[in-house]
Structure 1
């Protein structure tokens, strides 16, 4: 078992580590306090330590850059700082860690190689002399991303920015290659004297030829888990674990011998009493082999087209083992997105229903009669459904088709062992599918293998969901596009994901949102902590007792306030500008001596 394992795999060495690895020390918890109380306290401390790094002027900001990145800032850094300050941005160097996690490997390739690859890829955003160039439209996200970059065109150098227009991430470079590239980047770090620094980029179209036509092989079939695990470190738990070919029955929650009882602390390793204390590790499939048969991205994704070559490709989300370059997702930027609700936040906290709301489709990949029991959204709806839990409790094996009940009961405590769990769920949960997305698709939207377990429910407009206090957010085919609007809503997001996004370095779990394990083994404990016991009055009103409503309100409002400070459209542009200044330098033959040193002169 990995219950007491220390996080040491080589793929998260400090020079290539995930942005702000969020792990809380749990050594000084008070005896008798609830684990979530302790995690909230630690989150506040972590946030205070982060904000102590905030900088307010160009000199201190450039100095923080040099200290953290080992180089001079890129040309144009002064314009970037001016733009950020003019838009009242909170500037903390750690906020931009994702940029360097994504771009550092490209320092291990020749600048000309990356430059010419960027020019040859089909779906790209190009800027020349502060003018947007024509682009190939995929009729999906390209126009939105082009509009985002266009707002910055007067501040950007010439560049080519290839885009991933698929939902799924595309790059899976073997760990050994990335390790080599990142070591080369680290070895090349230096800060030459100001008089030797070149402060202006070379013209982008300097090549007399376009170079040899790029040939990139894409893997479009086979088990995605086996395709992806080559990007895990050799000593990581998942690297040597093959994919699963039998995906029937509920997914396993624990490692170890099959006859052992399931211990939630074994499946939620690096947790504190079963609750997530290391958000970075819990999201990482390289550290959790059980995700290979409990998440649709690995069981049978909707589509896949992956390359093991390191090419410059920008996209909205990725798995921790992917090498795509993250930018804000198009649906976060679009003013008319399915998930855009403007300034609508629902009622005040006290007037919101103390319940859980979720609506969506049964996305997550191609589920069918032989594998549906392993898909994350189907599992979540099942564990939150009082009828299915009641049936599982009546079964001597305590096993439903797609979840095991015993691990969840562990979180209810001694007093909760005899509670009417199914009745409690009936009272607090309003969750369900609006489309089962059956494969193969039936014209009448029926789904023979799911119909016995799931009944379609009426949709709830997103702005009406904000009248519920608790909003779970679960991965679909890739990341969930509703996360940002949940954070802005003044309801409390409860997040489970294996996907990374541009803003991950800016959010603190247990302060701005509630992290949840991808098995959902902790969901009852989370909801029991915040909602407590429930009773329906004769008038049909839901009354709650023994919960932590004040803590829920505090987190919900803290998340909203923070999102309105660091996840604004202006913050997305500030992030993209910084990213593209760095990418332009990487593509320049003079990159080793390029930099901004105006603050040193």
Structure 2
């Protein structure tokens, strides 16, 4: 007898005839098959399981009767092959049919998910739950990263040469000495500096010193809310060299720069940094859009060890997409920047999308790139606020800002803002609230009728959490164990899941909004506004969401130190991104939150807390805290900025060779 020869029967408690037929059949099996076992196995009247064996080639037939709070899941019998059927008997007006199903005795083959170059894993329903794979893959990658770390200056120089194809900067030995004395971990993981500066390496260093470019930089230094730090001589201290006109107090304008300078002086490393001059922006957001054509030419020349004359740069371009490769999805897929967010821009964001359209992040930096994910241009305030995008310059302008994005040429520094050493951290098992927690302000963009603020990321987060409760969700792999197929998902009602599993809300009242055009009132009416939560109250939650605000999330340091399992959504690579491992220290989440229900349900479980992975949640939370205490200290911030300024001083020198470190 094969699987296809087995008939699927049904049973209703309100059908005595059907019950009689079933009981009679079971009795016959008992009489004629001595190996029948486990006819009835139950703990109480709300959890009953019938099991019987049919033929050697067919596996047990299983009915599971389970009470879930107001949750009913009924699909076609074919969807349940290889799975248990969960039904809520208590909440149904009429008790449903329960499907007998036959399972193959041998487990079905587990197929692979697809790791895409855009940073996303495409789910294969015939694979095991992808989060098992992602955790295992990233734990292995983290161990490799630790084991391969350079142990002495010689190894560090060789690794630098291997990664970047050139010698380290002058002063690298002093930097290495600092790293060793202060136990700075992962001394090779500074690829973000390379990504930020590589385009400038393709520019003729003489061009960087020309009167025209110097005049241009000096002119840019006078732009509003720009200031410059540096030193004129090797023996000079690093100071603020220049400030521009600003509407804010000067102390506030230069606060970040002064904090960086103070840390360098605290550890007495500023003396080893050669003369340099670098501009800072006081804004939270990045400033200088990237002109892909010019930047790419610089990168290509840098790879070859050649340069090109900047005077041949192209004219101004316009729009976010001019920051992207012409062959990237952002250029090949049309986007209407004046229309509301189109449903077809990303069909997988539909909470009822088929499982084979679901994706998870496997490379967080790649997943942040709007060139590969053009829906981000219509889903994040960083981009929505400028519609199709601002004009890009025809120069390569070196400038440090707080939140560089993939579409900007701004340089990343290690920002000390909101740095803390430790924070309130209750034991995991003492945390009684298993809802996903977020509380904050409606930042991300100015809310007014002349902006499409309703498309932005924090508004989308609130819609995800608080609106659309009459809809249904398809949750991936509830109850799917390791080594089992994840299947086609479980359909649940948002009206029951959202209030029971989420505590996400704006705090206080609307800010950054236009009162005259009614936007503030619209915001107040649109969502439930909740009270603020203290640090002690926040410590009661096992799960916390971290979401970008006006720019990067400055609360991430505090959050990851709490041992909570952090779900992080961002479009901003940061100085520590290469030194932090997704799925080991935190759970990466896509900006449109299309994967958040699936990820959260995997860790938390269903409404009863069943089928979750509390042990993995606890592990990620503990590993995140451990990483924060060992890899995000003041010493680690100093190590990054020390190395950044060594690299920058060489880059801007007219004689880069003499500004390189030579060990022989």
Match of 1:196 in 2: none
1:340-489 matches, cutoff 5 A: 342-352=421-431, 353-368=433-448, 371-385=452-466, 388-390=467-469, 392-393=470-471, 409=475, 417=490, 419-434=492-507, 435-437=509-511, 439-441=513-515, 447-462=520-535, 464-489=537-562
Unpaired runs of 5+ in structure 1? 9-21, 191-215, 220-225, 267-272, 394-404, 536-543
Q: Secondary structure at the match of 1:471?
A: strand
Asked if 2 retains the 8 angstrom alpha-carbon contact of 1:302 and 1:477, the reply is: no
TM normalised by structure 1 equals 0.77
User: Which residue is equivalent to 1:230?
Assistant: 322
Q: TM-score, normalised by structure 2?
A: 0.70
Q: Which residue of 2 aligns with 1:526?
A: 599
Q: Deviations over 1:173-207 (max 9, x none)?
A: 321111111122122279xxxxxxxxxxxxxxxxx
Report the equivalent of 2:290: 173
The separation in 2 between residues aligned to 1:186 and 1:437, in whole angstroms, is 47
Distance 2:589 2:406 in 1: 17
Q: Give 1:342 shift.
A: 4.5
Q: Pick from 110, 116, 134: which aligns with 2:204?
A: 110
* Gap runs ≥5 in structure 2: 1-112, 244-248, 265-269, 308-313, 479-485
Query: How far apart in 2 are the matches of 1:425 and 1:255?
Result: 22
For 1:158, the equivalent position in structure 2 comes to 275
Is the CA contact (8 Å cut-off) linking 2:288 and 2:409 kept in structure 1?
A: yes
Whether 2:216 is the aligned partner of 1:125: answer no
| Structure of higher CA gyration radius | 2
User: Contact 2:543–2:565 (CA<8 Å) still a contact in 1?
Assistant: yes
Shift of 1:239: 2.0
Q: Contact conserved, 1:495 with 1:515, CA < 8 A, in 2?
A: yes
| Structure 1 residues 587 and 416: alpha-carbon distance in aligned structure 2, compared to 1, 3 A threshold | closer
> Does the 8 Å CA contact 2:443/2:458 hold for their aligned counterparts?
yes
Mapped pair 1:321 → 2:407: yes
Return the alpha-carbon distance in structure 2 between the equivalents of residues 568 and 508 of structure 1. Answer: 17
User: C-alpha deviations, 1:279-317, integer Å up to 9, x for none?
Assistant: 233211101122222222222259997642311101122
SS in 2 for 1:431: strand
On the 8 A contact 1:532/1:548 being kept in 2, the answer is yes
1:35 pairs with 2:130: yes
Give the 3-state SS of the residue equivalent to 2:422 in structure 1.
coil
- Call closer, same or farther: CA 1:141–1:494 in 2, change over 3 Å: farther
Secondary structure of the 1:470 match is strand
Counterpart residue number, 2:15: none
1:114/1:311 contact within 8 Å kept: no
Q: CA deviation at 1:263?
A: 4.5
Measured after TM superposition, the shift of residue 25 of structure 1 is: 11
Show the counterpart of 1:538: none
Partners of 1:441 and 1:304 in 2: CA distance: 26
- Counterpart for residue 296 of structure 1: 381
Q: Residues 364-410 of structure 1, C-alpha deviation per residue, up to 9 Å, x if partnerless?
A: 2133458343221112122222xx332x33xxxxxxxxxxx65x556
Return the alpha-carbon distance in structure 1 between the equivalents of residues 541 and 409 of structure 2: 37
**Helix, strand or coil: the match of 1:472?**
strand
Task: Name the residue aligned to 1:579.
Answer: 644
Paired residue for 2:362? 277
1:452 is paired with a residue whose SS is helix
2:195 maps to 1:101: yes
Partner of 2:617: 552
Q: What residue number does 2:573 align with?
A: 500
Q: CA deviation at 1:355?
A: 1.9
CA contact (8 A) 1:345 1:466 kept: yes
For the structure 1 residues 341 and 455, does the alpha-carbon distance in structure 2 shift closer, same or farther, using more than 3 Å as the test? farther
Could you tell me how far apart the structure 1 residues matched to 2:536 and 2:320 are? 37
- CA shift for structure 1 position 573: 0.8
Match of 1:89 in 2: 184
SS at match of 2:520: coil
Q: Take 1:306 and 1:493, find their aligned partners in 2: how far apart are those partners?
A: 36
Q: CA deviation at 1:139?
A: 4.2
Give the superposition deviation at 1:133.
Answer: 3.3
Q: Structure 1 73/278 Cα, relative in aligned 2: closer, same or farther at 3 Å?
A: closer
- Give the match for residue 183 of structure 1: 300
SS of match in other structure, 2:277? strand
Q: Per the alignment, do residues 562 and 288 of structure 1 end up closer, same or farther by CA in structure 2, a change over 3 Å counting?
A: same
Determine if contact 2:515/2:521 at 8 Å carries over to the other structure.
no
**Deviation digits for residues 106-163 of structure 1 (CA, Å, limit 9, x no counterpart):** 1222335435365662411122323133442744352232231243322211111210
Higher relative contact order (CA 8 A, sep 6+): 1
* 1:55-114, Cα deviation, whole Å (9 max, x unpaired): 121111111111211111111011000011111111342x10010111111122233543
The number of equivalent residue pairs is: 514
Helix, strand or coil at the partner of 2:434:
strand
Distance 1:592 1:183 in 2: 19
Cα distance between partner residues in 1 of 2:391 and 2:250: 18
- Of residues 31, 44, 59 in structure 1, which corresponds to 2:139? 44
Displacement of 1:360: 1.1
Conserved in 1, the CA contact under 8 Å of 2:506 and 2:528? yes
Shift of 1:324: 0.7
Deviates more, 1:302-311 or 1:363-372: 302-311
Instruction: Provide the alpha-carbon RMSD of the alignment.
Output: 3.6
1:23 CA displacement:
7.1
Give 2:260's aligned residue: 148
